[in-house]
Amino acid sequence: MKIINATLRKTPGLHTITCEGAQISAITLQSAHIPAQAGDIDARGQLLIAPFVEPHIHLDAALTAGQPEWNLSGTLFEGIERWAQRKETITHEDTKLRAHATIRMLAEHGIQHVRTHVDVTDPTLAALRAIIEVRDEARHLIDLQIVAFPQEGIESYAGGRELMTLAVELGADVVGGIPHFENTREQGVSSIKFLMDLAERTGCLVDVHCDETDDPHSRFLEVLAEEARVRGMGSRVTASHTTAMGSYDNAYCSKLFRLLKASKINFVSCPTESIHLQGRFDTFPKRRGVTRVAEIDRAGMNVCFGQDSIKDPWYPLGNGNILRVLDAGLHICHMMGFEDLARSLDLVTDNSARTLNLGEGYGIAVGRPANLVVLDAESDYEAVRRQAKARVSIRAGKVLMTRVPEQVEFS
Ligand code: 17E
Ligand code: FE2
């Protein structure tokens, strides 16, 4: 299969990408626009990108908003309470149906790599068992990484440590945590030591919900980063949310950044979710409740954007379109200078792939998997401005999905 007349990010000219079997076998620069032969996919000068990546979502809770009650305060904590109510009624089938429906929404938007957190603070681990099956069943659409996520705490929840260990034995790929939600600061710290030990022992990656609060005294990020640095695990570790960093004073943050850089950990921000859940205890002026995305990026560290929720107890909107989150994130994080817009897709492609440790399994290069998306735009700038849709999604060298862009006719 050939994709012709493709614009590649950060590379001038039109290109032909040839796929053999499930791999990219050649990338050639064209001297001019070429006509399509039967069987070719004509990108018509538009962007051909490696698939979008969703680095942070909660598939087990997706599509449950309002069941049985709506989150009326809009806080993280009421979200956790509402979810605890819904969690009592989840079943294997209900979880699988909602997860599959949500994965389809992601795939429709050109996403082929997903990391989902799954709540393991449930003695039956029902959601985890269901999502492990979904990981196999949905392989034709996406690659799925599963995080063992202790929503109600590792130390503060009865049997929390045992449930985390069992989740990894059952097949979770990534170890999670929620230190800011543990009952005490000491438990927050010990939860991080525990989860880092578990990951180091089992070879799992790490992705911690870390300091998801406006409390400027929530300082678990330094603990996570130091554990990662000392163990040499930084590139395998991710700090998600870190919204408290938006409230840290600059003197502390400048010291913290030295450690963060030395640790080499990754960051995920979920700007639509954070602007909704945070700032809830402020009057005016009201904080944005989002981590320092531009500053992390400028310091040379790896940061990406995720959706976090689709219609769940924490966040009622969302539709699978990661460009919606990119658009909002660029606004919220003051990243609309031309240079940021011109490379904005980094935040939802390459940077996220690095967070997920996809390595040679991702990217447009000879020998890599033929997973490719033609976007309905010619540049990063236009893709985010126009909320460009995926026109064609190719997976393992086969067309997975095509979309005919909408046509508007004035009379
Ligand atoms: N759980 C949590 O602790 N934080 C979130 N943002 C979501 C679930 C969606
Ligand atoms: Fe989350």
- Alpha-carbon gap, residue 201 to 192, rounded angstroms: 14
* Ligand (nearest to CA of 56): 2
Residue 325 CB–ligand 1 contact under 6 Å: no
Split at pLDDT 50, 70, 90, the class of 404 is very high
Residue 176's Cβ-side half-sphere holds a number of Cα atoms within 13 Å equal to 30
Residue 35, pLDDT above cutoff 90: yes
Residue 60 CB–ligand 1 contact under 6 Å: no
CA 50 from centroid of its chain's CA atoms: 15
- What amino acid occupies position 225? A
- Mark whether 159 and 266 lie in a shared domain: yes
Q: Which domain covers residue 121, as residue numbers? A: 53-361
Residue 405, pLDDT above cutoff 90: no
Rg (CA), the chain: 21
Backbone angles phi, psi at 239, to 5 degrees: -105, 115
pLDDT digits (tens, 9 = 90+) for 260-282: 999 999 999 999 999 999 999 99
In a domain, 409, yes or no: no
Q: What is the mean pLDDT of the chain?
A: 98
For the chain, the residue count is: 411
- Alpha-carbon gap, residue 174 to 186, rounded angstroms: 23
Average pLDDT over residues 67-75: 97
Residue 212 CB–ligand 1 contact under 6 Å: yes
Residue 83 CB–ligand 1 contact under 6 Å: no
Q: What CATH number corresponds to the domain at position 41?
A: 2.30.40.10
pLDDT digits (tens, 9 = 90+) for 130-189: 999 999 999 999 999 999 999 999 999 999 999 999 999 999 999 999 999 999 999 999
- Mark whether 68 and 126 lie in a shared domain: yes
Average pLDDT over residues 305-321: 98
- Mark whether 284 and 315 lie in a shared domain: yes
- Alpha-carbon gap, residue 354 to 147, rounded angstroms: 16
Please give the distance, rounded to the nearest whole angstrom, from the Cα atom of residue 201 to the centre of ligand 1: 26
Separation in Å, CA 295 to CA 250, 303, 334, 349, 366: 11, 10, 10, 19, 34
> Residues 131, 93: contact at Cβ < 8 Å?
no
Query: pTM above the 0.85 mark?
Result: yes
- Mark whether 303 and 189 lie in a shared domain: yes
Average pLDDT over residues 50-75: 98
- Mark whether 218 and 250 lie in a shared domain: yes
Which pLDDT belongs to residue 339?
98
Please give the distance, rounded to the nearest whole angstrom, from the Cα atom of residue 222 to the centre of ligand 1: 20
Kindly state the tokens that stand for 354. 């690095």
- Alpha-carbon gap, residue 304 to 257, rounded angstroms: 17
Q: Name the 3-class secondary structure at 76.
A: helix
Q: Name the 3-class secondary structure at 252.
A: helix
Q: Name the 3-class secondary structure at 86.
A: helix
Please give the distance, rounded to the nearest whole angstrom, from the Cα atom of residue 82 to the centre of ligand 2: 15
Element (H, E) at 41: strand 41-42
- Mark whether 178 and 303 lie in a shared domain: yes
- Mark whether 153 and 33 lie in a shared domain: no
> Residues 310, 266: contact at Cβ < 8 Å?
no
- Beta strand residue intervals within 242-301, DSSP E: 266-269
Backbone angles phi, psi at 156, to 5 degrees: -90, -10
Torsion, Cα 105 108 114 118, to 10 degrees, reads 10
- Mark whether 292 and 252 lie in a shared domain: yes
Element (H, E) at 275: helix 271-277
The DSSP secondary-structure symbol of 312 reads: B
Q: Name the 3-class secondary structure at 232.
A: coil
- Mark whether 212 and 298 lie in a shared domain: yes
In a domain, 410, yes or no: no
- Mark whether 219 and 149 lie in a shared domain: yes
Which pLDDT belongs to residue 257?
98
Split at pLDDT 50, 70, 90, the class of 191 is very high
Pocket probe mutation, ligand 1, options 57, 60, 75, 76, max atoms within 8 Å of Cβ: 76
Please give the distance, rounded to the nearest whole angstrom, from the Cα atom of residue 128 to the centre of ligand 1: 16
227 is annotated as an active-site residue: no
> Residues 249, 259: contact at Cβ < 8 Å?
no
- Alpha-carbon gap, residue 358 to 250, rounded angstroms: 33
- Mark whether 94 and 195 lie in a shared domain: yes
212, 295, 339, 378: which one is catalytic? 212
- Mark whether 21 and 160 lie in a shared domain: no
Residue 308 CB–ligand 1 contact under 6 Å: yes
Q: Provide the number of structural domains found in the chain.
A: 2
Average pLDDT over residues 79-84: 98
Which pLDDT belongs to residue 171?
98
How would you classify the pairing of strands 372-375 and 47-49? antiparallel
SS (HEC) of 1-27: CEEEEEEECCEEEEEEEEEECCEEEEE
Separation in Å, CA 120 to CA 73, 87, 147, 160, 333: 25, 11, 9, 8, 32
In a domain, 411, yes or no: no
Backbone angles phi, psi at 166, to 5 degrees: -65, -40
